[in-house]
Amino acid sequence: MSTNYGGYMGKVALVDLATGRISEYPWTDEERRLFIGGKTMAAKIISDHLSEIVSPLDPSNLLVVTTGPLTGTGAPSSSRFNISTISPLTGILTSSNCGGNFGYYLKKAGYDALIITGRSETPVWLQIHNDTFRLHPADDMWGMLTGHVQEHLDEKLAEGANGRKVKNGKIVIGPAGENLVRYASVVSNERLAGRGGVGAVMGSKNLKAVTVSGNKMVQAKKPEQMLKLNQKWFKYLHGHPLTGDQMPRLGTAGLVSAMQFNGQLSTKNYKYGQYEDYEKVNGETLAEKYNIVNKGCLTCPIKCARTVEVNGKAVKGPELETLGLLGGGILNNDIELIFKWNFELDELGMDTISAANTLSYAMEANEQGLWDNGLEFGRTETISQLWDDIAHRRGVGNELAEGSRWLSEKYGGKDFAVHAKGMELAAYEPRRAVGLGLGYATSNRGGCHLNGGYMVIMEGLGLAMDAQTPHAKADGTVMFQDLMECISATGQCLFTSYAFFPFFLLKYPQAWYTKAVNKILPMAGPVMRIINKYPEIACIHLPVIFNQSKAMELATGMNMKFGTYIKAGKRGYVLERLINTKLGITAADDKLPKRFTDTPQVEGDDSTKVPLETMKKVYYDARGFDQNGLPKEKILKKLKLDNLAVAKMPVRQPLWEGPAAAEKKEACADGNH
Amino acid sequence: MAYKITDNCIGCTICAKNCPVGAITGTLREQHAIDGGLCIECGVCGKVCPKGAVEDPSGVPCSKVTKEQWKKPIIDKDACAGCSVCVENCPKDCLEIEDPKFHGDIHTVAQLMFHKEDACIGCMICSKVCPIGAITF
């Protein structure tokens, strides 16, 4: 099915691993206009089949790999691709974004998306070259680490091309995905679609890897104007203090120090917001002592990735989340150990955030006498072995592989099992950035800072509005959730949105105008509400700071202004919510552990709790949801979601399986014997 | 779209030996053919063919260009952001992002690899894919 829009390749492939059948999935220009690409497109595809999906690890689940229309057009940081599925970690929709080169090459093969369903009887890998799809046995690769299997696949492809190196993109899983660890990731080069257990879903399909190559080029609708915009945009990002200096110089790790000063750095399983040894595990130490070179994903001028040495080899360095959670989070001040663990987790194919948080939960459960597991804060010597045990589901690792929600159901300690909807939180402590707390609680994929709107950038990590006030947090969260949804959908990196904040506000934090902006922001809720309710009124391109909507217009030929861009993001966000509500999610699930809502971070100072219920009320109103968190008919109609199959389907039983379900299954199996 | 080999082909195999993606097949002294599914339109076949037996995607016959005359990319180092798109797309792997000039250097840019300068076939793919037009020939 071809397309009249530029930027897209016009085809979506559907692969059924049970039968080996390959077909073209119907996807129209109207759907392209409404659902753009990336996570929004994937949500639409999954929503159309939601009633057929039996459970996350059942063959009926879909693994949907999508690209965005800007991927391959030359727009900055646009090589990102998305993997969505129903998550074994949360039982609801998850979307995981990755900076590897798979999406770029998928478009070279002529496809905008790849849908994988069914389960192969035996382990396989899928080779795609343009329209040729081949399934090969993967018995020899089963068990291989993610780096090794990628090298092995390059050799296999070269074998099939008379020894010539074949340029290709890959997605692979490691032992964690094979063994259905609930937070297993999918790896592409050194980058990961880390969150939500997409690797376990791939493993449940017996699919070890996909390689893709091709000789097609992405055509923008207006290539000359696109080139000019890109030149301007690259220059702007280069000159911006966040995207041109802080991010390339310190990486995401640069935020560790700022979080420490703000009391936002998760410490000892989020009990505290500051870690006394933070200087040993911060971005400055990483940059000054260890970073070999800053690297970027393909097409990225920001280049925030780190390179460090582990066992004499230059490997990807840790991000902020990993430094925070495997540093202060478990009271470890040895940064070299974090490099090693980060590498090991990538090689095993496991999400560092969920793995770290599950570990810190287990340490606290042990400390409180709930679960005798031998794990203690500050004791690090057994941790490398523990990752291997989790990935291979051995001993205590077998239980840790289920994630902190599952463990807290079994052993107790729900108040300090730091997850939202089953997904472990990032390294930001929300009691000193309450807007982010609301974001974590309402995020569609569970405890995610990015999907949650990342309000913390205005609560001390960029601008410095009052981090404790609930004012304007709900409307700000809605606006940024929608904005980031659309940036992801187009195939771009969310870090391009850092440049949304004019450089002078960030460069001169003490200037009178910056202070004035910080003071005014808590009062800006009603203004943001107007955009949230009526985004279409912003029928302009925002000059200089926001090039995304213009890029979409030039690349695709769609009529896309700032307002329509935000509206497309809103459509995606509400669609994801709609899917989740059909899987049983209501306002009662938009919650945080009591550690954040009932216990102040600073003893005696009640403002250092997350006033979640207060903010939620405003949030639902701003979103057009009822107070039970369900999208109202009016908003569905406005976003053209009211006629989708998912809007009409009844609410299903939750798909997440806790320890009780496992016990029940075991009992049934024993009964059968 | 892809390059094509015409009846003028004498089967000398030079094009097949030079094709960076192995898209050309054929036996000695017989007409060769280009696989449109592999051809990346680098045009090296047209530049090396002694008989002018290669047509470009728009049907224009190519003429032989001696290796000494193949142009090399000129990278505008001030504009280059080191985004790696040229490196990823170079069919001969002769581009790279330079090493940091000092510890903490954050402005590393693309360059033609010193020891692989001869490998460059002057295909100009790097120039076509550069998002900001920082590569000229």
Phi, psi of A254 (to 5 degrees): -60, -20
List chain A residues with CB under 8 Å of B131: 73-76, 227, 230, 234, 299
The predicted pLDDT at position A672 comes to 56
Put simply, the answer to whether B88 touches A249 (Cβ < 8 Å) is: no
For chain A, give every domain's residue range: 12-213, 223-243+439-642, 251-432
Digit-coded pLDDT (tens) for B11-37: 999 999 999 999 999 999 999 999 999
The predicted pLDDT at position A663 comes to 78
Q: Is the dihedral of CA B128, B129, B134, B137 positive or negative?
A: negative
Q: How far is CA A97 from CA A79, A103, A156, B75, in A?
A: 10, 11, 27, 32
CATH number of A223-243+439-642: 1.10.599.10
> Of A358, A332, A331, which Cα lies nearest the Cα of A345?
A358
Which CATH number fits the domain A251-432, given the four candidates 3.40.50.300, 1.10.569.10, 1.10.3720.10, 1.20.120.160? 1.10.569.10
d(CA A614, CA A469): 11
CA distance A624 to chain B (A): 40
Whose structure tokens read 């107007």? A530
Which of A165, A215, A301 lies at the smallest CB-CB distance from B81?
Answer: A301
Q: Is the dihedral of CA A362, A363, A367, A371 positive or negative?
A: positive
Helix (H, G, I), strand (E, B) or coil at A621: helix
Which of B21, B39, B131 lies at the smallest CB-CB distance from A299?
Answer: B131
Per the CB < 8 A criterion, the answer to whether A585 and A92 are in contact is yes
Put simply, the answer to whether B129 touches A74 (Cβ < 8 Å) is: yes
List chain A residues with CB under 8 Å of B100: 292-293
Closest residue of chain A to B91, computed from CA coordinates:
A167
Put simply, the answer to whether B84 touches A298 (Cβ < 8 Å) is: yes
Which candidate in A159, A217, A228, A289 is best for mutational testing of the B interface (most B CBs within 10 A)?
A217
Which residues, other chains included, contact A661 with Cβ-Cβ below 8 Å and sequence gap of 6+? none
Per the CB < 8 A criterion, the answer to whether A50 and A651 are in contact is no
Which residue ranges form the domains of chain B, and what is each CATH number? 1-69 (3.30.70.20), 70-136 (3.30.70.20)
The predicted pLDDT at position B116 comes to 78
The predicted pLDDT at position A667 comes to 76
Per the CB < 8 A criterion, the answer to whether A81 and A101 are in contact is no
Q: How far is CA B130 from CA A343, A393, A410, in A?
A: 31, 46, 54
What pairing do the DSSP bridges indicate for beta strands A93-98 and A124-129?
unpaired
What pairing do the DSSP bridges indicate for beta strands B135-136 and B74-75?
antiparallel
Question: Could you tell me the end-to-end alpha-carbon distance of chain A, in angstroms, rounded to an integer?
Answer: 52
The predicted pLDDT at position A662 comes to 75
Which of B41, B88, B132 lies at the smallest CB-CB distance from A234?
Answer: B132
Which CATH number fits the domain A12-213, given the four candidates 1.10.3470.10, 3.60.9.10, 3.30.43.10, 3.30.360.10? 3.60.9.10
Put simply, the answer to whether A132 touches B93 (Cβ < 8 Å) is: no
Put simply, the answer to whether B85 touches A231 (Cβ < 8 Å) is: no
Tokens at residue A390, please? Answer: 């989790």
Put simply, the answer to whether B104 touches A287 (Cβ < 8 Å) is: yes
List chain B residues with CB under 8 Å of A291: 104
List chain B residues with CB under 8 Å of A293: 99-100, 105, 108
> Of A232, A228, A243, A249, which Cα lies nearest the Cα of A500?
A243
Which of B40, B83, B91 lies at the smallest CB-CB distance from A300?
Answer: B83
List chain B residues with CB under 8 Å of A227: 131-133
d(CA B104, CA A481): 34
What pairing do the DSSP bridges indicate for beta strands B95-97 and B110-112?
antiparallel
Ranges assigned E (strand) in A384-542 = 419-420, 423-424
The predicted pLDDT at position A673 comes to 52
pTM: 0.97
> Of B136, B25, B27, which Cα lies nearest the Cα of B75?
B136
Grouped pLDDT means (10 residues each) for chain A, 673 residues: 93 98 98 98 98 98 98 96 98 97 98 98 98 98 98 97 95 98 97 97 98 97 97 95 95 97 98 98 97 95 96 96 98 98 98 98 98 97 98 98 98 98 98 98 97 96 96 98 98 94 92 97 96 95 93 98 97 98 98 98 96 98 98 98 97 94 75 57
Which of A165, A294, A298 lies at the smallest CB-CB distance from B85?
Answer: A298
The predicted pLDDT at position A671 comes to 63
